[in-house]
A and B are shown apart, each in its own frame.
Chain A
């Protein structure tokens, strides 16, 4: 079964600083990968998804970017953080051995921008 790792678990960054969040997947090959952001007490907002290495689709225009340098690695970045970037960031993947849209989630990174 698949396992998703995210780090760091918690991050406090000043406004204007850069960001790099990493997600790695074990136990499956060629997964679709997703980055979501969740505001406190709210639902999930899809930020980016990737169906393969180097293939990134952006759902919401913003100052964030994503990259997929390896099959099971997904990175979320920003050159300059905004206060509004604070939130809980979740990485998710699909498993191509499971014939559905079921997504499997990592433990998340809580980002606070001060």
Chain B
């Protein structure tokens, strides 16, 4: 079953604004990852946060993890047109598998 569920399903903002996407999950995890997918392409790994971490940064990306609420958020600051893509969270639960959510479609308007 698809455990990670992103919210919102679609998000449209103006260039320069910040974009926040949320992910909820149901079971215990080892880590949570965020991926980006440009239309018609494969997924690209963005950032991984482990279950014992609360916040992580990578460039304009900021990820938070709240294991008590079983949720994570991805913040993209100072958005650019090139950030237009679908964003997926994926939970690592051991067993060498990831469970992906349905994704958030982000559109950055110039």
The chain A residue sitting closest to B9, CB to CB, is A41
Query: Among A36, A42, A88, which residue has its beta carbon within 8 angstroms of that of B102?
Result: A42
User: How far is B41's CA from A4's CA once the two chains are assembled, in angstroms?
Assistant: 13
Q: When A104-B45, A107-B41, A110-B40 are in contact, do A44 and B100 touch as well, CB less than 8 Å? A: yes
Contact A108 B45 (CB under 8 A): no
Size of the A side of the interface (Cβ < 8 Å), in residues, is: 26
Contact A103 B98 (CB under 8 A): yes
List residues of A (36-60) whose CB comes within 8 Å of B's CBs.
Answer: 36, 41-46, 49, 51
Contact B40 A108 (CB under 8 A): yes
The dominant DSSP class at the B interface is: strand
User: How far is B33's CA from A100's CA once the two chains are assembled, in angstroms?
Assistant: 10
Kindly state whether residue B2 has any CB partner on chain A within 8 Å: yes
Q: When A43-B2, A43-B88, A44-B88 are in contact, do A101 and B40 touch as well, CB less than 8 Å? A: no
List residues of A (54-109) whose CB comes within 8 Å of B's CBs.
Answer: 88, 90, 92, 94, 100-108
Determine the interface band of chain B, counting residues with CB < 8 A from chain A: 20 to 34
The chain B residue sitting closest to A105, CB to CB, is B42
Kindly state whether residue B31 has any CB partner on chain A within 8 Å: yes
| Contact sample, A vs B, 21 pairs, CB 8 Å cutoff | A4-B42, A43-B2, A43-B88, A43-B100, A45-B2, A46-B98, A88-B40, A92-B43, A100-B31, A100-B48, A101-B30, A101-B33, A102-B33, A102-B45, A102-B48, A103-B90, A103-B98, A104-B45, A107-B41, A107-B42, A108-B42
**Interface residues, chain B, CB within 8 Å of chain A?**
2, 30-31, 33, 35, 40-45, 48, 88, 90, 92, 96-103, 105
